[in-house]
Structure 1
Amino acid sequence: MSWLFGYKSQVPQMPPPPGAEGGAPQEPGSAGQAAGDQNLTKAERKAMEAYRFDSSALERAAEAARTLERSKHAREALELSKLQESTRQHEYMAKVKEYEAHIESSKVDQKRVDHEERRKTLAEETKQQQQRAQYQDQLARKRYEEQLAQQQRVQEENIRKQEESVAKQEAMRRKTIEHEMELREKNKMKLLEAELRAKAKVDRENRDLTLEQIRLKAEENRITVMEGIKTAGSVLGQGATALLTDWGKVATTVGGLSLLALGIYSAKGATGVTARYIEARIGKPLLVNETSRFSLLEAVRHPITTIQRFKAKPTDALHGVVLQPKLEERLRDVAIATKNTKHNKGFHRNILMYGPPGTGKTMFAKKLASHSGMDYAIMTGGDVGPMGRDAVTAIHKVFDWANTSRRGLLLFIDEADAFLRKRSSEHISEDMRSALNAFLYRTGEQNPRFMLVLASNTPEQFDYAINDRLDEMVEFTLPGLDERERLIRLYFDKFVLQPAAEGKKRFKVEQWDYSMVCSRMAQMCEGMSGREISKLGVSWQAACYASENGVLTEKMVLDRCDAAVRQHRQKMAWLSEQEKQDHKSITGGKGYVIES
């Protein structure tokens, strides 16, 4: 151990070689050391070589230390050495701090990694739990569906068993009834047989009495007839003798018989003429369903309506009728021409109005007659077919009745294609052909007394001769957006606002934007006809009457409109199916089919 620069240093002591006994250490390379090294094992020699060093360098260092201690700069050198050692200590501490900071950062990173792993683990566990919950839910649903299916099967099985039981009971009841009827029939037959046997026995026993009664009755009848014949012969003989002997009586008898025959035939003819006159002037034909022409019978039945009809003034032909602008312009020209024709006693033109149902054809026909100062009469083409052979007579009566009108008559035939269809069609009977021929005969020429207006949804079925008698054809189309909005506003005012303003019981209207709702409903009611929109107005009234407080709300109006739209679509679907079936029935199931 030695002191170097004021520090105590330890010098490792070499272990003495085996066999050495004190004394100074041997010089390296000496014979004793060599002998000792030879006696050591390989491991011991390797350990000895680690402790071997050059002692001369240590001596030189010790000499330098002593020289430095004697030098005048020894203290500065010592301070410098301390400063260097302190610097190394600070650097070491800084490295230690850096290492600790690195360790803390590693710990933070490890915690972050652990936290991320934990979060991923939780997310994965959550996902697994969700999947497990979904799987359990699917299993529960499957079990529930299986239970429902099992219950359905059980119910079907129970229903089947009940039906079988009911069928068996019905069969047993039927057999019982049949057996009872058979027994009853047998009893009746036995009873009847017994009665017949008893009656036959009584007849056999009373045969002599019965024969005697028959003989007496026959004898009495014969005597009575003979006496009657004798009396009638004597009376007729005496009358004929008296008549033939007096020629004045003969002439009187002949004249009386002649006058009697003439009176009978004259009364019969006069009665027929009078009946036809009364029918033409007072009554109306059987085919006419509705008319504005004055009738004594109708006046007696409805006096107030008749008086109001006489007081009514001619109105605009398009008043209350909402159509497309071009169609309104054309119909207005027709109305003006018809009115001037009536005033000038000219020949009226025949018009065909065709289009979907509910588009205002009948309404315009009535307005046209009122505007022109004419009477109107409405008949339906479907009423002609059931009349059979009487259809021809009925048609002639209609035209005879129309010719007797003093104001002029507008004869409106709705669904005219029902009996005016092509004569070449296989679906028309002989009676219908006869009715069509009678109609063609009465409409062969223009007439100043009546105007013919036909309405049809399928004008392509008309006979060609009918088309030849038409002077003008007007197509009535479904209302567009603007027309639907006008119709909805018209019927909303008529069926909702006016009754509410009149203060009717249980009829009030909640405050909301009527204009916006009417515009919205006009967009919803695409494809609907005017008649369907008018029925929608009636449904608003029904909804208000059916409500608890009698107040019509916006929701109620829109719900009724939505229900009407759904019903219209369903009707269109049914119509398409009916068209398909009609086409199949006409073509015999061959050819194309119109798609809906």
Structure 2
Amino acid sequence: MSWLFGWGRSSGAPPADELTAAAAPAEGSGGAKPGDKWSNFDPTGLERAAKAAKDLDQSRNAKEALALARMQEQTVQLEHQSKVKVGFWKMGCWDCVISVYVCVCVTAKLCKPKKSLHQQEYEAAVEQLKGEQIRLQGEERRKTLAEETKQNQARAQYQDKLARQRYDDQLRQQQFLNEENLRKQEESVVKQEAMRKSTIEHEMELRHKNDLLRVEAEAKARAQVERENADLIREQIRLKAAEHRQTVLESIKTAGAVFGEGFRAFVSDWDKLTATVAGLTLLAAGVYSARNATAVAGRYIEARLGKPSLVRETSRITVAEAIKHPVKTTKRLRSRPQDALEGVVLSAALEGRVRDVAIATRNTRQNKGLYRNILMYGPPGTGKTLFAKKLALHSGMDFAIMTGGDVAPMGRDGVTAMHKVFDWASTSRRGLLLFVDEADAFLRKRSTEKISEDLRATLNAFLYRTGEQSNKFMLVLASNQPEQFDWAINDRIDEIVNFALPGLDERERLVRMYFDKFVLVPATTGRQRLKLAQFDYGQKCSDIAQRAEGMSGREISKLGVAWQAAAYSSEDGVLTEAMIDSRVDDAIKQHAQKMDWLLMEAGEGVGKVGVRLPK
């Protein structure tokens, strides 16, 4: 019904003067109540509309015109609604909403007398639009407040950031100023130190020059004075020499007179002469006797308390050792006899034989009988030295260890040293087990071997001291080549024991013993940096014993030390099965290399006594 209000069909908007008049209250009110917006409404338009409606009712085409007008009005309202929505969302213009609301209200008032269902729906849509507008306005306000809050927070954060940056800049500037001041102070100190050093050097130089000038002036003055007073100085020297000569001559004359009078008085008195001669004689005899007695006492003390130079190790307690290790000495004195085979792994037959030797030796000491001399031969590292020590401890005897390689370098002193060893052995109250390791080094055949005269004399002294069995000492010889002994040495041996390489059972016992000693016990006590990985220890020891065929007990003990060293060298200190196998492989290769060297020395297939060489 836009033509009722005088709007043109070509234009989709109301006239400008009416739109301005309708929108003016909305702009000036600034949020007044909705009833105030229609206080300045012009009713002329409604009068024209009422007159036109009356004329239209009297027309015979009123129904068709009204239907057409209704359709046009619906179209225009829909267009206005779409424009209002678009304008509100794009521009947020409250005036447009007010204009639409005015138009809707005017239309509603004009059509009130003839409301229809469509008009009711239209009014409901307008009310819904008003509610939607109010909701959108609230949402817009909330968004505006949220945006303002966000902007305020961003502004506060930015200001805080600027403040921190200014503070950091101030700190950096202050630090730079401090560093600059410190650098200037250091430069000033360096300059002052340099100036002080230069000043001191200059003063020292001036002082040195002054000293040189002073010494030179004094020397020149002294030389000048000496040249001027040369005659006086020579006269003073001559007078002093004459006076000294006169004094010496008078002293000699006085001493001669006194000595002559005393000698004449002494010679004329026979009692004094006899007493003097007797005193000098007694003094000479005392000096001679004291010197000989001191030598005899020294030899006795050395024989009783000292250790001969040929003895490398002994269980006898010396004075020096007691002073140096009192705790160790006390423990040794309180020690009890031990089992002769404790810690010694031998075959069943050999173990029975050496146990019989140990029992016989112990009973011999208790009954103060004559000891039997023993020869132990076999490959190196089979337990000969260890058994000798255990034998001495088991029987309650002292032991002393010497090596044959120490005898030859002594030369002429070898005979004296050998006698000292046996004299020292004879002074033991408990009996002494004298263990000679590598005895074939100096007990060689005198008829065929080329030995020096000094070594021959030492061998004769050894044969002289061991010609008869003794109840003071027991002789135990160890050798890898007993066939090189002199025949007289073989005649002095009462028991021969062969220490062969360990068999499979003995190797397994050795592997288990050294595994417990060097690996298992340190790993379980926790005192050392050693840990053990999880695997079957017993089966591993059996496998190692089978692989270590031909190896001696010493080589197996070195395997235990190698396992311990492998654990210590690892990062975490854990000994794994792979590390054990690696060390065993290395030991087997080294043993094979040693056997190759032995074959090259002795000839293929022929080895030393007691050593089985691989074919």
What TM-score results when the alignment is normalised by the length of structure 2? 0.56
The secondary structure found in structure 1 opposite 2:312 is strand
The residue number in structure 1 matching 2:499 is 476
Shift of 1:240: 4.4
The residue number in structure 1 matching 2:472 is 449
The residue number in structure 2 matching 1:378 is 401
User: Are residues 231 and 448 of structure 1, via their aligned partners in 2, closer, same or farther at CA, if it must alter by over 3 Å?
Assistant: farther
CA RMSD of aligned residues (A): 2.8
Distance 1:540 1:317 in 2: 28
The residue number in structure 2 matching 1:302 is 325
Shift of 1:227: 9.9
Shift of 1:244: 2.6
Shift of 1:238: 4.9
Distance 1:341 1:226 in 2: 85
The residue number in structure 2 matching 1:359 is 382
Q: How does 1:380-399 map to 2 (within 5 A)?
A: 380-399=403-422
Distance 1:457 1:421 in 2: 13
**1:327 correspondence with 2:350:** yes
Distance 1:313 1:405 in 2: 18
Residue by residue over 1:202-254, the C-alpha shift from the partner in whole angstroms, topping out at 9 and shown as x without a partner, is xxxxxxxxxxxxxx9xx99x999999998887776555433332211221121
Shift of 1:353: 0.6
User: Are residues 526 and 223 of structure 1, via their aligned partners in 2, closer, same or farther at CA, if it must alter by over 3 Å?
Assistant: farther
Give the counterpart letter for 1:273 in structure 2.
V
The residue number in structure 1 matching 2:446 is 423
The secondary structure found in structure 1 opposite 2:539 is helix
Shift of 1:567: 1.1
User: Are residues 372 and 243 of structure 1, via their aligned partners in 2, closer, same or farther at CA, if it must alter by over 3 Å?
Assistant: same
The residue number in structure 2 matching 1:554 is 577
The secondary structure found in structure 2 opposite 1:568 is helix
The residue number in structure 1 matching 2:315 is 292
Are the equivalent residues in 1 in contact too, given 2:435–2:475 (CA < 8 A)? yes
Q: How does 1:164-563 map to 2 (within 5 A)?
A: 238=261, 240-563=263-586
Q: Give me the identity figure in percent.
A: 67
Residue by residue over 1:184-215, the C-alpha shift from the partner in whole angstroms, topping out at 9 and shown as x without a partner, is xxxxxxxxxxxxxxxxxxxxxxxxxxxxxxxx
Distance 2:385 2:340 in 1: 12
Distance 2:337 2:305 in 1: 24
The secondary structure found in structure 2 opposite 1:455 is strand
Which deviates further from its counterpart, 507-516 or 359-368? 507-516
User: Are residues 453 and 505 of structure 1, via their aligned partners in 2, closer, same or farther at CA, if it must alter by over 3 Å?
Assistant: closer
Residue by residue over 1:54-95, the C-alpha shift from the partner in whole angstroms, topping out at 9 and shown as x without a partner, is xxxxxxxxxxxxxxxxxxxxxxxxxxxxxxxxxxxxxxxxxx
Give the counterpart letter for 1:541 in structure 2.
Q
Distance 2:342 2:558 in 1: 19
Distance 2:596 2:259 in 1: 84
User: Are residues 255 and 595 of structure 1, via their aligned partners in 2, closer, same or farther at CA, if it must alter by over 3 Å?
Assistant: farther
Give the counterpart letter for 1:420 in structure 2.
L
User: Are residues 317 and 253 of structure 1, via their aligned partners in 2, closer, same or farther at CA, if it must alter by over 3 Å?
Assistant: same
The secondary structure found in structure 2 opposite 1:562 is helix
The secondary structure found in structure 2 opposite 1:527 is coil
User: Are residues 338 and 595 of structure 1, via their aligned partners in 2, closer, same or farther at CA, if it must alter by over 3 Å?
Assistant: closer
User: Are residues 285 and 231 of structure 1, via their aligned partners in 2, closer, same or farther at CA, if it must alter by over 3 Å?
Assistant: farther
Shift of 1:414: 0.7
The secondary structure found in structure 2 opposite 1:348 is coil
Shift of 1:514: 1.3
Distance 1:418 1:223 in 2: 78
Distance 1:530 1:556 in 2: 21
User: Are residues 505 and 230 of structure 1, via their aligned partners in 2, closer, same or farther at CA, if it must alter by over 3 Å?
Assistant: same
Q: How does 1:61-100 map to 2 (within 5 A)?
A: none
Give the counterpart letter for 1:504 in structure 2.
R
**1:568 correspondence with 2:591:** yes
User: Are residues 358 and 232 of structure 1, via their aligned partners in 2, closer, same or farther at CA, if it must alter by over 3 Å?
Assistant: farther
Distance 1:326 1:225 in 2: 97
The secondary structure found in structure 1 opposite 2:308 is coil
User: Are residues 531 and 229 of structure 1, via their aligned partners in 2, closer, same or farther at CA, if it must alter by over 3 Å?
Assistant: farther
Shift of 1:417: 1.2
The secondary structure found in structure 1 opposite 2:421 is helix
Give the counterpart letter for 2:342 in structure 1.
H
Distance 1:531 1:232 in 2: 83
Give the counterpart letter for 1:338 in structure 2.
T
Distance 2:559 2:474 in 1: 34
User: Are residues 297 and 234 of structure 1, via their aligned partners in 2, closer, same or farther at CA, if it must alter by over 3 Å?
Assistant: same
Residue by residue over 1:363-383, the C-alpha shift from the partner in whole angstroms, topping out at 9 and shown as x without a partner, is 000000011011111111111
Count how many residue pairs are aligned between Structure 1 and Structure 2: 368
User: Are residues 333 and 255 of structure 1, via their aligned partners in 2, closer, same or farther at CA, if it must alter by over 3 Å?
Assistant: same
The residue number in structure 2 matching 1:590 is none
User: Are residues 394 and 228 of structure 1, via their aligned partners in 2, closer, same or farther at CA, if it must alter by over 3 Å?
Assistant: farther
Distance 2:327 2:533 in 1: 37
Residue by residue over 1:113-144, the C-alpha shift from the partner in whole angstroms, topping out at 9 and shown as x without a partner, is xxxxxxxxxxxxxxxxxxxxxxxxxxxxxxxx
User: Are residues 457 and 426 of structure 1, via their aligned partners in 2, closer, same or farther at CA, if it must alter by over 3 Å?
Assistant: closer
User: Are residues 400 and 228 of structure 1, via their aligned partners in 2, closer, same or farther at CA, if it must alter by over 3 Å?
Assistant: farther
Shift of 1:389: 1.0
The secondary structure found in structure 2 opposite 1:288 is coil
What TM-score results when the alignment is normalised by the length of structure 1? 0.58
Distance 2:559 2:509 in 1: 14
Distance 2:469 2:541 in 1: 46
Which deviates further from its counterpart, 560-569 or 420-429? 420-429
Distance 2:258 2:273 in 1: 17
User: Are residues 471 and 505 of structure 1, via their aligned partners in 2, closer, same or farther at CA, if it must alter by over 3 Å?
Assistant: closer
Distance 1:404 1:428 in 2: 31
Are the equivalent residues in 1 in contact too, given 2:398–2:432 (CA < 8 A)? yes
User: Are residues 424 and 230 of structure 1, via their aligned partners in 2, closer, same or farther at CA, if it must alter by over 3 Å?
Assistant: farther
The secondary structure found in structure 1 opposite 2:596 is helix
The secondary structure found in structure 2 opposite 1:410 is strand
Q: Flag structure 2 segments of 5+ consecutive residues without an equivalent.
A: 1-237, 607-612
Shift of 1:577: 3.7
